Structure 1
């Protein structure tokens, strides 16, 4: 699905009006970080994920919205949000859960403490704390 240039410009104008230049910088960082996480996971798994610090300002809601536009999966999104929170001194743990194979295999990732309807019925198989280098 492609977005028309007009829709893209309207979305950018709303972002600037609502969040200013810092919001634009955070949305751009979020989308780039999601692509980087995708490549790093493919090359080396969780231990290969390295993200630069996000710009100051903004909100988790803005990060979530940008992730929604980036096309990232749940693991990529959780890792980007984990980095955003870590920069703000809030250590968050990424949790990965799976369903029983007999129920049709499903996997999902989320940040510990977030309400997430997709995690119902999943057994936790991995908890990935924020890397200490990410925490201020």
Structure 2
């Protein structure tokens, strides 16, 4: 996965990391990483402006793996909800309907919220009460 840094509002990838990405995943991998990073930024803006109902993402490019998408999301600085929504879109394009789950802890125990894709092993979700399940929009499914 490419090493990245923030310069202003643009996420950049160094030449060595780009070469490794191309060698390991080819042009389709590069396209998927670019789509993932851009999608994360779009989701962040859309959530801020209109909540879950405002999230609209273009289809991701063909190819790549969930591992590559997760790596790009880690480097793009997305929070758990943004990452879950981007991955939900990626899976939907491949015909797999995944539900985003949002859970919260008991406020008396110190409030904590977390989002994940249903079915993923996620150690952060233990002890959280589910408050929302957001299925993949029908328009995203092939």
* Residue of structure 2 aligned with 1:42, choices 48, 53, 56: 48
The answer for the alignment partner of 1:23 in structure 2 is 29
Q: Any gaps of 5 or more consecutive residues in structure 1?
A: none
The 1:3–1:83 alpha-carbon spacing in structure 2 relative to 1, beyond 3 Å, is closer
Q: Does structure 1 residue 55 correspond to structure 2 residue 61? A: yes
TM-score in terms of structure 1 length: 0.95
Counterpart mapping for 1:1-136 below 5 A: 2=5, 8-136=14-142
Distance 2:108 2:20 in 1: 46
Q: Any gaps of 5 or more consecutive residues in structure 2?
A: 8-12
SS at match of 1:108: strand
Aligned length: 134
TM-score in terms of structure 2 length: 0.91
Greater per-residue helix proportion:
1
Distance 1:20 1:2 in 2: 22
Greater per-residue strand proportion:
2
